[in-house]
Amino acid sequence: MKHSQYICLVLALFAQVTFSSCENKPAQIDISLDAEYSGMLAAIRGTDASLSEKLALIEQAQSSGMAGGRQVMQLILDAVGAMEGSLKEKLAAIAGAIESQALALETKMALIEAAVQSGFAGTAEQHDLLQKALASVGGSLEQKFAAVETAVSSQTTGLETIIGLIEAAINSDFANAGQARELILKALEALSGTLEEKAAAVESAVKSLGPGLDAKLALIEAAVKEGFAGYSGIQDLVSAALEALTGSTEEKMAAIGSAMGSDTSGLEAKLALIASALEKGLGDGNTAIGNLQAALAASLGGLDPGLSGLASEITAKLQAIALQLSPEEFAKAFQNIVDAVGDHYDSTSQLLETILKAVNDIAGSLESF
Using one digit for the tens of pLDDT, what is the confidence trace for 284-340? 999 999 999 999 999 887 667 778 889 999 999 999 999 999 999 999 999 999 988
In a domain, residue 79? The reply is yes
Using one digit for the tens of pLDDT, what is the confidence trace for 202-253? 999 999 887 889 999 999 999 988 887 765 578 899 999 999 999 999 999 9
What is the pLDDT confidence band of residue 29, given thresholds at 50, 70 and 90? Answer: very low
How far apart are the C-alpha atoms of 95 and 129, rounded to whole Å? 7
Q: What local confidence, expressed as pLDDT, does residue 344 receive?
A: 67
Residue of 81, 35, 17 whose CA lies nearest to 54? 81
In a domain, residue 29? The reply is yes
The parent domain of residue 55 ranges over 1-85
How far apart are the C-alpha atoms of 236 and 273, rounded to whole Å? 10
In a domain, residue 130? The reply is no
How far apart are the C-alpha atoms of 23 and 314, rounded to whole Å? 71
- Tell me the C-alpha to C-alpha distance, in Å, between residue 93 and each of 49, 77, 80, 99, 226: 12, 14, 10, 10, 39
Q: Which of 85, 107, 133 is the last residue of a domain?
A: 85
In a domain, residue 33? The reply is yes
Q: Which of 60, 85, 110 is the last residue of a domain?
A: 85
The alpha carbon of residue 268 and the mean position of all alpha carbons in its chain are separated, in whole angstroms, by 18
The total domain count for the chain is 2
The residue type at 125: E
In a domain, residue 107? The reply is no
Q: What percent of the chain has pLDDT over 90?
A: 53
8 A C-beta contact, residue 191 and residue 69: no
In a domain, residue 201? The reply is no
Specify burial of residue 220 (Cβ count, 10 A radius: 0-12, 13-18, 19+): buried
How far apart are the C-alpha atoms of 51 and 72, rounded to whole Å? 14
Average pLDDT over residues 133-159: 90
How far apart are the C-alpha atoms of 176 and 182, rounded to whole Å? 10
In a domain, residue 69? The reply is yes
The sign of the CA dihedral 175, 178, 180, 183 is: negative
In a domain, residue 219? The reply is no
Give the contacts of 275 (CB within 8 A, at least 6 positions apart): 235, 331, 334, 335, 337, 338
Q: Which of 50, 85, 120 is the last residue of a domain?
A: 85
Q: What local confidence, expressed as pLDDT, does residue 48 receive?
A: 87
The sign of the CA dihedral 57, 63, 64, 67 is: positive
